[in-house]
Amino acid sequence: MKTLNTIGIILLIITSLNALAAGFSMIAEPTGKDLGMTVDTILQHSPFHSFLIPGIALFSTIGIGIIITLIAFRKKWNNYNLVVLAQGAIITGWIVIQVIFLRQFNWMHAVIGSIGLYTIVWGYMLTRLRKKFYL
């Protein structure tokens, strides 16, 4: 379980840093220019007219959400296993929604989607382990 935890922590730290940086960039420059994106091409099939709302959502739900998840795991908050599981679902859901809105799939979607699925499995394993010790 220690290896599963270590891999999960490393993957979530990398994902959080990526989400914080990209989300902040989208908030600071809602046209997407700083990230080499344009509203007309990237957001043409989405309900958004700038990257501001997606940037806020990315920064908060993925970036800050992962930080809270890692704190919950480290401090062993009550039901921290469910927090890990929920964060995995949030990451995976983010990618699914992004692919639907963008109408494209690239290697970053595969990587981050895989991290989301890994986090779901990790949260499930933590839940199983907790039930084993509490029953």
133 pLDDT band (50/70/90 cuts)? low
pTM above 0.85, yes or no: yes
Q: Kindly report the CA angle at 39 between 33 and 43, in degrees rounded to 5?
A: 135
pLDDT at site 55: 96
SS (H, E, C) the chain: CHHHHHHHHHHHHHHHHHHHHHHHHHHHCCCCHHHCCCHHHHCCCCCCCCCHHHHHHHHHHHHHHHHHHHHHHHHCCCCHHHHHHHHHHHHHHHHHHHHHHHCCCCHHHHHHHHHHHHHHHHHHHHHHHHHHHHC
pLDDT at site 134: 59
125 contact partners, CB below 8 Å, separation of at least 6: 1, 4
Average pLDDT over residues 99-107: 93
Q: What is the pLDDT of residues 4-59, one digit of tens each?
A: 999 999 999 999 999 999 999 999 999 998 888 888 888 989 999 999 999 999 99
Average pLDDT over residues 69-98: 96
pLDDT at site 130: 76
Average pLDDT over residues 53-78: 96
